[in-house]
A and B are shown apart, each in its own frame.
Chain A
């Protein structure tokens, strides 16, 4: 099993509903966020092009954060998701510096926190909060190893990119372009 997410940059309107849904679902402390929306503007007026991306942890297959963790708190879990066990984390921040996507942060309680792909929901057969709430249905979540899953199907049909593939992290967040 290999969980992944595909996000349609053509359908995303940048409403940030995914961000709020995540904060609510996961009880993210005020002032912090596990996902965020990036707006990329290219060109000069009037030749402008805009891309909107809802970003979060890439749940990389070759995660630098798991590699550098001195205690094993950062680990691979079900479906290749990258998680942090808070009772093993010493808050040394090595994983934060090792992440090219800046997807992690120090929770006010001291341990390092990040997106979990809402594994607690996924285990119950539900979608991650951000995917479930998206008003334009621009996010797809599922198992890459299952060719019939929504995410496998959409990646077969559409062109996509990943972020900083040259960093060698093998990210599992796909952006449909």
Chain B
């Protein structure tokens, strides 16, 4: 038997008895950032492939959610900072080793980009929209001319944003649960899935809905594959990572993870989307809300469980 206690009474807030320094703000932001990345990725992809009119919702309408999600996410990030008035320090340096520095600069590119994209399509979303100032009209005309270039920048930067939401966690070797590079692709896939689901919800076009249901099904398949691989990797690794995996395989996070994330967030919506593709009539909101819910839960559970996993000594 081994018992280890701090006898001098260390009780640093947010650190003891168990690390909980990142609350709801970080996972909320990771979800919103992932969702925006998903929406922008599909918009860029189908613009590059010249399918703007076939997939009108994905390219022109759904991306309006992206700047809203990003701004809300940025507010959440700002709330998370403890030394708020110094936030501008993020933008006085570029630190290649720090995922958060990457994230801050990526957001600096992605957020204005999402706003420009929305502005370009404002008249497609609201036909009566009037910019009132000629300067703005001219500016938008300029961006419209270079839409393909914008789409390429958006494709790459949204993929970086989606992956970075996972890398933010996986760069911390002090938290064995997070210390797996699979979190990058897993969070990207989860963001893409959420984006695709939102397109299905907003679209009124049958062909587009079908396309995105197929895409979503495929991405959910990839997510399940990545989750299985994540656990295989953990179980074949060191004791600390085996312990981290056990948080989900019998430990405190077993029920929430497998029920909310895997079953309700992936398997059930996959079945419903599959049934819809086969011709069954299913209210589209159900699978969409489940996918979004699963995506939120994935971030919250990984964020909270990661802070509970630690090295032994």
What residues make up the interface of A, taking CB atoms closer than 8 Å to B? 14, 16, 19, 31-33, 35-44, 52, 64, 67-73, 86-94, 96-100, 102, 104-106, 109-112, 163-164, 166-168
Interface residue from B2, B6, B90, B103 paired with A37 (Cβ < 8 Å): B6
Q: With an 8 A cutoff between CB atoms, is B130 at the interface? A: no
CA distance A39 to B10 in the complex (A): 12
Whether the Cβ atoms of B83 and A90 lie closer than 8 Å is yes
* Chain A proximity mask over B35-61: 1 for CB below 8 Å, otherwise 0: 000000000000000000000000000
With both chains docked as a complex, state the minimum distance between the C-beta of B178 and any C-beta of chain A, in angstroms.
Answer: 8
Contact of B4 among A39, A67, A96, A112 (CB under 8 A): A39
Q: Are A37 and B12 in contact (CB under 8 A)?
A: no
A79 to chain B, nearest CB (A): 22
0/1 per residue, B1-36, Cβ < 8 Å to A? 111111111111111100101100000000000000
> Does B92 lie within 8 Å of A33, measured CB to CB?
no
- Closest residue on chain A to residue B23 by CB atoms: A93
Q: Which of B1, B97, B238, B311 contacts A43 (CB 8 A)?
A: B1
Question: Smallest Cβ distance from B119 to chain A, in angstroms?
Answer: 29
Other than A68-B99, A100-B311, give 19 A-B pairs with Cβ distance below 8 A.
A14-B8, A31-B13, A33-B12, A35-B8, A38-B5, A38-B6, A70-B93, A70-B98, A70-B103, A71-B89, A87-B86, A88-B86, A93-B22, A97-B21, A97-B175, A102-B12, A102-B16, A105-B15, A111-B86
CB-defined contacts of A64 to chain B, threshold 8 Å = 172-174
> Does A36 contact B81, Cβ atoms closer than 8 Å?
no
Complex interface: chain B residues within 8 A of A14 (CB): 7-8
Q: Describe B's contact surface by its main secondary structure.
A: loop
On whether the beta carbons of A167 and B174 are closer than 8 Å, the reply is yes
User: How far, in angstroms, from A99 to B112 measured CA to CA in the complex?
Assistant: 34
Closest to A50 in B: B3
The answer to whether A92 touches B10, judged by C-beta atoms less than 8 angstroms apart, is: no
Find out whether the CB atom of A40 lies under 8 angstroms from the CB atom of B86.
Answer: no
CB distance from B28 to the nearest CB of A (A): 15
- Asked whether A70 lies within 8 Å of B101 as measured between CB atoms, the reply is yes
Are A97 and B172 closer than 8 Å at their CB atoms?
yes
Contact status of A68 and B14, CB under 8 A, knowing A37-B8, A91-B86:
no
Docked pose: A100 CA to B15 CA in angstroms: 12
A36 touches B8 (CB 8 A): yes
Instruction: List, in ascending order, chain A residues with CB within 8 A of B10's CB.
Output: 33, 36
Q: Which residues of chain B from 263 to 311 have a CB within 8 Å of any chain A CB? A: 306-307, 310-311
